[in-house]
Amino acid sequence: MRRTTPVASLLPLLLLACTAARATERPNVLLIMTDDQGYGDLHFHGNDKIDTPVLDRLAIESVRFDRFFVCPYCSPTRAALLTGRYPLRTGVAAVTRGLETVRSEEVTIAEVLQTAGYATGCFGKWHIGEHYPSHPNGQGFREFFGFAQGHWDNYFDPKLEHNGRVVRTRGYITDVITDYALRFMERHRNKPFFCYVPYNAPHTPHQVPDRYFDKYMARGLGTREAAIYGMVENIDENVGRLLDKLDELGLAERTIVLFLSDNGPEGPPGSRYNAGMRGMKGTVHEGGMRVPLFVRWPGRFEANRVVKPIAAHVDLLPTIAELCGVANPKTLPLDGRSLVPLLTGRARRWPDRMIFARTSGWRSVLEYDERVVQDLHTLGKTVRTQRWRAADEGAGWQLYDMLNDPSQQRDVADDHPEVLGRLRTAYDRWFADVTKTPIVRPAIPVGYRERPLVELPAPEAYFSGGIHWYNRFGFAHDWLTGWADLEDAIWWDVDVVTAGEYEVAVRYTCPPDSVGTTLRVEAGRGAVEGHILEAHPPKPRLRPTRHPKKRFVQSFATQRLGRIHLSAGQCQVTLRALNRPGDQICEVKSITLRLLQ
Please, where are the H alpha helices in 200-304? 210-217, 223-248, 286-289
The answer on pLDDT for 373 being more than 50 is yes
Provide the pLDDT for residue 545: 86
What single-letter DSSP state applies at residue 377?
A: G
Say if residues 154 and 122 touch (Cβ distance below 8 Å): no
Provide the pLDDT for residue 6: 37
Count other Cβ atoms within 10 Å, centred on residue 229: 28
The answer on pLDDT for 456 being more than 50 is yes
> Average pLDDT of 378-391?
94
> What count of Cα atoms within 13 Å lies in the side-chain half-sphere of residue 160?
29
> Average pLDDT of 434-461?
95
Nearest-CA neighbor of 35 among 177, 217, 241, 183? Answer: 177
DSSP state string for 513-581: GGTT-EEEEEETTEEEEEE--S-B----EEPP-SS----EE---EEEEEEEEEE-SEEEEEEEEES--S
**Secondary structure, 3-state, 74-106:** HHHHHHHHHHCCCHHHHCCCCCCCCCCCCCCCC
- DSSP 3-state of 381: strand
Distance separating alpha carbons of residues 545 and 349, to the nearest angstrom: 49
Tens of pLDDT, residue by residue over 361-370, are 544 444 445 5
Lowest mean pLDDT among 109-123, 356-370, 566-580: 356-370
Tens of pLDDT, residue by residue over 326-353, are 999 988 999 999 999 999 999 888 999 9
Provide the pLDDT for residue 371: 55
Distance separating alpha carbons of residues 473 and 540, to the nearest angstrom: 16
Say if residues 122 and 196 touch (Cβ distance below 8 Å): yes
| Helices 173-187 and 223-248, axial angle in degrees (round to 10) | 10
Burial bucket for residue 3 (CB in 10 Å: 0-12, 13-18, 19+) = exposed
Long-range CB pairs of 214-220, under 8 A, 24+ apart, other chains included: 216/49, 216/50, 219/49
Percent of the chain with pLDDT over 70: 93
Q: Would residue 565 show up in a list of annotated catalytic residues for this protein?
A: no
First-residue to last-residue Cα distance in the chain: 44
Provide the pLDDT for residue 375: 59
Distance separating alpha carbons of residues 92 and 86, to the nearest angstrom: 9
Tens of pLDDT, residue by residue over 200-210, are 999 999 999 99
Catalytic residue selected from 74, 122, 195, 510: 74
Q: How sure is the predictor about 541, in pLDDT bands with cuts at 50, 70 and 90? A: confident
Distance separating alpha carbons of residues 586 and 105, to the nearest angstrom: 38
Which residues, at least 6 apart from 295, have a Cβ–Cβ distance to it below 8 Å?
62, 63, 65, 256, 257, 258, 301, 343
> Average pLDDT of 270-289?
95
Tens of pLDDT, residue by residue over 69-99, are 999 999 999 999 999 999 999 999 989 989 9
Which residues, at least 6 apart from 385, have a Cβ–Cβ distance to it below 8 Å?
310, 352, 353, 354, 355, 423
Provide the pLDDT for residue 379: 78
Distance separating alpha carbons of residues 351 and 354, to the nearest angstrom: 10
Burial bucket for residue 487 (CB in 10 Å: 0-12, 13-18, 19+) = exposed
**Residues linked to residue 357 through DSSP beta bridges, in sequence order:** 382
Q: How sure is the predictor about 66, in pLDDT bands with cuts at 50, 70 and 90? A: very high
The answer on pLDDT for 406 being more than 70 is yes
Residue-averaged pLDDT of the chain? 93
> Average pLDDT of 405-424?
98
Give this prediction's pTM.
0.94
The answer on pLDDT for 427 being more than 80 is yes
The answer on pLDDT for 238 being more than 70 is yes
Catalytic residue selected from 43, 45, 127, 536: 127
The answer on pLDDT for 508 being more than 50 is yes
Distance separating alpha carbons of residues 287 and 276, to the nearest angstrom: 8
The answer for 583, left when phi > 0, alpha when psi is -120 to 50, beta otherwise, is alpha
Provide the pLDDT for residue 369: 52
Domains of the chain: 24-347 (3.40.720.10), 356-434 (3.30.1120.10), 444-595 (2.60.120.260)
- DSSP 3-state of 117: coil
Q: Would residue 313 show up in a list of annotated catalytic residues for this protein?
A: no
- Beta-sheet strand order (sheet of 397-401): 355-358, 381-384, 388-392, 397-401
Say if residues 528 and 568 touch (Cβ distance below 8 Å): no
The answer on pLDDT for 547 being more than 90 is no
The answer on pLDDT for 3 being more than 60 is no
The answer on pLDDT for 376 being more than 70 is no
The answer on pLDDT for 550 being more than 90 is no
